[in-house]
């Protein structure tokens, strides 16, 4: 919802989210900078949904905190942008 508020275009927000998750995070960043990839939204979500002990992933508590942080930042950006826009 916050991404839609930032872009003002629902389809654009959905496409941007899918491109970010699949192309940028999984394809590029996970291969080039694996230590950074686990701190991004997709890496944190994988850590929350993976059963078992995997040393490459964040702990479930850290992953939940990372996702909450990304959510808070995106909501803050959406709120600031929404407050500065003209109402049409």
pLDDT in tens, the chain (88 residues): 677 777 777 888 888 888 888 888 888 877 888 888 889 888 888 888 888 777 788 888 999 999 999 999 988 988 888 888 776 6
In 1-29, which positions are buried (b, 16+ CB within 10 angstroms) versus exposed (e)? ebbbbbbeeeeebeeeeeeeeeeebbeeb
According to the model, what pLDDT value does residue 88 have? Answer: 61
The pTM of this model reads 0.75
According to the model, what pLDDT value does residue 87 have? Answer: 67
According to the model, what pLDDT value does residue 1 have? Answer: 63
Specify whether the CB–CB gap between 38 and 47 falls below 8 A.
yes
Listed by start position, the domains of the chain span: 2-84
């Amino acid at each position: 919802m916050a991404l839609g508020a930032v872009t003002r275009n629902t389809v654009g927000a959905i496409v941007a989210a899918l491109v970010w998750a699949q192309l940028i995070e999984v394809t590029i960043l996970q291969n080039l900078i694996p230590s950074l990839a686990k701190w991004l939204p997709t890496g944190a979500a994988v850590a929350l949904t993976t059963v078992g002990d995997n040393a490459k992933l964040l702990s479930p508590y850290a992953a939940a905190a990372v996702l909450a942080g990304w959510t808070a930042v995106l909501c803050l950006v959406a709120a600031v942008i929404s407050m500065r826009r003209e109402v049409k």
